Structure 1
């Protein structure tokens, strides 16, 4: 994060502390329960948000060398991202042009040629079909027309975004809505992927973002886990088009008042939470970054698939560093698996009880309000 922004945010946090307040919305916001349960709305979300919108896929150093690749099937579209022989990130539908089999699973390294597990058709990192098994027997086809279907991709600031539908190019700067200089200043192009896990729960995909976009619940749900570390009374909010940044103050941030503004390092004293619209909560955690990505499970509004990834500033060099990153990963995962997500399943089940038609986000939940207003805007709906 740029120094000028660190100074500005530290001044705001200290002012909020002195005034006994935090970033506040103009008024509470009512959201219809059907936003989480309606199948017609989910179908619209799938098409506009998970087919047409560029989505965060990972960081550059997940695929540092030609043939290194990652895959994503959770958008509902099988996606392959691979480092080309020319050093550029490429994205394709992860589908063999022969019979439609999925080509690669998970992630891997050095696949400068890869073959379909069904009939052995072979492709290179540009997506070109380079070999057909027993080609003479198969018959005459034009291999040049049977390459993998490309998807729009852009790699910038160490981040990789892919649009899951062929067509319009990806513009990361436009997608980030003004957050680009901030992302660039973190230097994520040198960060490494440490670990990822995938999980599924019985609640709507948007509840994952809801979980991270307010601190109001910390002293109740996380009384002995997160609350001793984070001061829920003080936080900032800034909108960046459909995206946002929320800064939560860690305990002890008041020490910043004793430092000259130009000497302050805000990062160790805060958790900086970015919502990269529509489905990624990207969190700076003092010495590393986390990404929580949520996806609807098919046409089911009551189930979500989630990935959680930790990105470290460099490869661990010894067991001590590995224990440090494992500890950070395990603590974050345990908190949501033992506290947030089990409660979220009960919360979502309550939507079907008939107890209410609307839920209310308070003035002290401005990030949550902005997120749901952004969803309405992107979907072209008013409720």
Structure 2
């Protein structure tokens, strides 16, 4: 809040880096760059799988939205969180398809090998055909998994580090303070967008476009796209001032509740964009399929007490349609797809970022620093 008021006194948006930066457009078109991102970014760091409410009890589960890391997360009979590659250890068939209401075991549809919820091999059909097989050597391939800040985190490397306190720093404190773990899901969508995953995330990282691209939608609620930001490692937190922010000047700072006057945005490196609105939360995750194609998932969460009964559900439906379909799909990501399409025609070798667009360069640098 204080940062937003400081910008108000200056009569300007934040400079971010304080200089103009050029970013090569090859970052969004080069297949070799994507391969290096997959190897050095998406394989080396914890990834958000979804909200903890998806796996609240034994047998509940959460499936990966990305076939490059086909995991399934569940709770075993003792309530311990587990993550496994969603593959039978016999001949690799997919075990969980997503239409199961709850898991009592992992059962291979191909040859009926059965695994317990802790991943151990329980039985082999026609076991006499497998003399000398040690069931202990054929348990499901496990991945590190934990819950932190109301989110489920999976590491794609079986030997990966899941110290979320060290990884998230102050961002974890924020998620705890906002009681993200108390939220419940309204709806989740999964859509393929014809744009580079970084282009999609970067539409969120500046307020410069708000009065123009969102002139009939978000610009009514936000104050000229003004935002302040904070970095912790590769993660970014942004506070975007809402139009009513000056009302806070009539109250004592100790009584301020940030979400009454601003929306708070988080880039949880590498591919999650987390938005705290006053009455709901959007968890956006971006999974690259190709340089010009990305899986985008949007999971909208809310506090059940804030939206009771049929009237509450109708209000949620209205919010979801506005956020998901109009703002994200119809404005932010539509223009990102347009940019991606136009890259092929060669008018620009670089994207030129102004003083208010420095977070795009900061995010890009966090990726570049980790490329293999």
* TM-score normalised to structure 2 length: 0.95
Question: Which segments of 5 or more consecutive residues in structure 2 lack a partner in the other structure?
Answer: none
Report 1:1-383 matches (<5 A): 10-25=1-16, 26-74=18-66, 76-106=68-98, 109-297=101-289, 300-314=290-304, 317-334=308-325, 335-379=327-371
Distance 2:74 2:100 in 1: 9
Distance 2:2 2:65 in 1: 43
Q: 1:80 to 1:333 in 2, by over 3 A?
A: same
Distance 1:90 1:34 in 2: 39
Secondary structure at the counterpart of residue 371 of structure 1:
helix
Is the CA contact (8 Å cut-off) linking 1:67 and 1:125 kept in structure 2? yes
Structure 1 residue 75: deviation in Å?
Answer: 5.6
Distance 2:177 2:352 in 1: 36
Distance 1:369 1:350 in 2: 21
Question: Which segments of 5 or more consecutive residues in structure 1 lack a partner in the other structure?
Answer: 1-9
Distance 2:138 2:358 in 1: 49
Q: 1:195 to 1:290 in 2, by over 3 A?
A: same
Is the CA contact (8 Å cut-off) linking 2:143 and 2:157 kept in structure 1? yes
Q: 1:268 to 1:117 in 2, by over 3 A?
A: farther
Is the CA contact (8 Å cut-off) linking 2:21 and 2:358 kept in structure 1? no
CA RMSD in angstroms comes to 1.7
Distance 2:14 2:40 in 1: 30
- Between 1:42-51 and 1:11-20, the stretch displaced more is 11-20
Is the CA contact (8 Å cut-off) linking 1:247 and 1:271 kept in structure 2? yes
Distance 2:65 2:126 in 1: 30
Structure 1 residue 194: deviation in Å?
Answer: 2.1
- Between 1:232-241 and 1:272-281, the stretch displaced more is 232-241
Structure 1 residue 23: deviation in Å?
Answer: 2.1
Distance 2:195 2:31 in 1: 13
Distance 2:166 2:22 in 1: 29
Is the CA contact (8 Å cut-off) linking 1:96 and 1:103 kept in structure 2? yes
Structure 1 residue 52: deviation in Å?
Answer: 2.1
Q: Deviations over 1:99-126 (max 9, x none)?
A: 1011112375531312112111111111
* Matched residues, number: 369
Distance 1:193 1:139 in 2: 47
Structure 1 residue 177: deviation in Å?
Answer: 3.7
Question: Partner residue of 1:7?
Answer: none
Secondary structure at the counterpart of residue 174 of structure 1:
helix
